[in-house]
Amino acid sequence: MDSDKLDFNRRFGGVARLYGADGLAKLQAAHICVIGIGGVGSWAAEAVARNAVGKITLIDLDNIAESNVNRQLHAVDGAFGKAKVTAMRERILSINPFAIVHEIEDFVTVENVHELINHHYDGVIDCIDDAKAKAAIANLCKLNNIPLVMTGAAGGRLEPTRIKHADLSAVTHDKLLAKVRGLLRSDYGFASGHNTKSKSPKLEVLCVYSDEPVTMPDTVCNSDSVITGLNCAGYGSSVCVTAPFGFTAASLLLQQLI
């Protein structure tokens, strides 16, 4: 056995024992795209890498900032100012030096989705917070029969045990995914209405979401103990929730590939 194969087997023998030799081979041959390398997507990319996926494409235009420290894997001293896709690529290659990792420094939009999301992907994990772009991604994946896992909003949540997964038609407590659902029905012709059992027809978009009510910023901003300089324009977030969101999304996609 050559040294590279021995090294690979030592690194990922646990994956083979879980999924089987055939499952590991499928993961090695797979090409997964992770869109949005932030509080959820960085952890999803980590999980994909640690499961020996052979080719990974990372899409994001943001750079790492100090404000990312509370929730993003790559937000550490020495990385501030670096492109998120670059920092994530470096980390992935330190986990699996046999992987091929592509960086795309861009945001996915309705206008460029056909350029950035191609039919060569074996699976896509969508971790962005732009409803219009998410709808465009879902539509493109459906047209090209690409397995997709879409994540909802992780901000404002405290309890990781409230994380769920379901078809987009059945998602609750998530305004972002509700907006995506409406766009898919109004702009892309996805099924709407109810069937004979008074249930919305499935949209065939697998989602990760939380059914925990959101902790509003006002509960912090209006308190006597507010931190000086706290930005109360958006929800707070915890890695205790964002990371499990990413891990759940990765797990759901990996299981579809094997």
pLDDT in tens, 160-169: 999 999 999 9
- The string of pLDDT tens digits covering residues 117-148 is 988 999 999 999 999 999 999 999 999 999 99
Instruction: Give the domain extent around 154.
Output: 3-257
The pTM for the full model equals 0.92
Adjacent-strand bridge partners of 100: 55
User: What is the C-alpha to C-alpha distance for residues 254 and 242, in angstroms, rounded to an integer?
Assistant: 19
CATH code of the domain in which 234 resides: 3.40.50.720
Which pLDDT belongs to residue 150?
Answer: 99
Q: Coil, helix or strand for 57? A: strand
* Overall domain count for the chain: 1
User: Is pLDDT of 159 > 50?
Assistant: yes
229 pLDDT more than 60: no
Torsion of CA 250, 111, 181, 206, to 10 degrees: -20
Calculate the CA 82 to chain-centre distance: 20
